[in-house]
Amino acid sequence: MTAAIETINLTRRYDRMVALDQLNLTVGTGNIYGFIGPNGAGKTTTLRLLAGLLEPSSGEVRLMGQPLRLGRGDTQRLVGYMPDFFGVYDDLRVWEYLDFFARCYGLDAARRRTTVNTLLDLVDLGHKRDAFVQTLSRGMQQRLCLAHALVHDPPVLLLDEPASGLDPRARVELRELLRTLRDMGKTVLLSSHILSELAEVCTEIGIIDSGKMVVSGPVDAVQRQLQGTARLRIRLLRERERERAVALLQAQLEAPDEAAVQISSVRLDHSDPMHLLVELAQPDEEQQTRLLAFLMGQQLPISEFKVQSENLEELFLRLTTQLPAVS
């Protein structure tokens, strides 16, 4: 299947500063890809290159299998771009705003009417069609600008910090709208530093730092890859079994070469004496399965066996401060 978005050694320099350094990125059709990075990491530069608003210093962008070239309207029409800081025409009504951009894309009168009505329903602004743009809330303006990016029905959407400045309710509405767009077959690439939002809506994420891609892939796979270890929370049904469980696990820890399970540490959860906290040297599920089988084989009454993963916030902070970037 042809990738919706592909970059090949994409590089952008500003004089001596390298804003983007040989970025290789592939986003499959119908995915929602979250682009994570601190301020100045190269997120906005990447989106502008993908939208055809910047010329790369070197490298290539492909959209739906076609090379992107500045000035070629056929490939640029494959993209709908919503910048972080967008402008609106305050003296236009909501429907007029969308109709204006539909005219810019050459839609005839009948198609413009259908497109405007469809998009207003999609972003839940039908009840505001005759309101002036300047009277809309931040969240409504955000949805209107997303509708603007969809006027020409592009297969690829680029959204730069779409949740910026939104209240919790508006963020929930945005997440639902993104899922709807995915169901419509759209491919969405969005940048954000609100990492918890991405984990809930994205199918894949990439972490960029200092212009280099550090890691990229499905959300769960990235979490497992960056975790390095697996932290388990084990609850015993009876407190009197705690000392025996600790002794058994400690024996595994002290004989790692011979043990079926590679344990890094064992400790008690002081907030709850019924819980043990175990860290495995490897985050793979096979090690977790072996540990559970070992404990059950020792007739230990276990009522909870749960993996405690770092969330994206913790992984991002650790990764961008401790690990070198790789291209």
Which pLDDT tens digit goes with each residue over 4-41?
999 999 999 999 899 999 999 999 999 999 998 888 88
CA 11 to CA 57: how far, in whole Å?
6
| pLDDT at residue 325, as a whole number | 40
Q: How many domains does the chain have?
A: 3
Does residue 195 share a domain with residue 63? Answer: yes
**Contact partners, residue 87, CB within 8 Å, separation at least 6:** none
CA 298 to CA 293: how far, in whole Å?
9
Has residue 310 got a pLDDT over 70? no
pLDDT in tens, 205-257: 998 888 999 888 888 777 766 665 677 888 888 878 888 888 888 887 776 66
| pLDDT at residue 260, as a whole number | 64
- Tally Cβ neighbours within 10 Å of residue 134: 11
- Encoded tokens for 284: 């793979």
The reply to whether 147 falls in a domain is no
pTM for the complete prediction?
0.75
| Domain assignment of residue 236, given as a range | 230-309
The reply to whether 314 falls in a domain is no
The reply to whether 322 falls in a domain is no
Structural element, H or E, at residue 304: strand 302-308
Does residue 59 share a domain with residue 160? Answer: yes
Does residue 26 share a domain with residue 12? Answer: yes
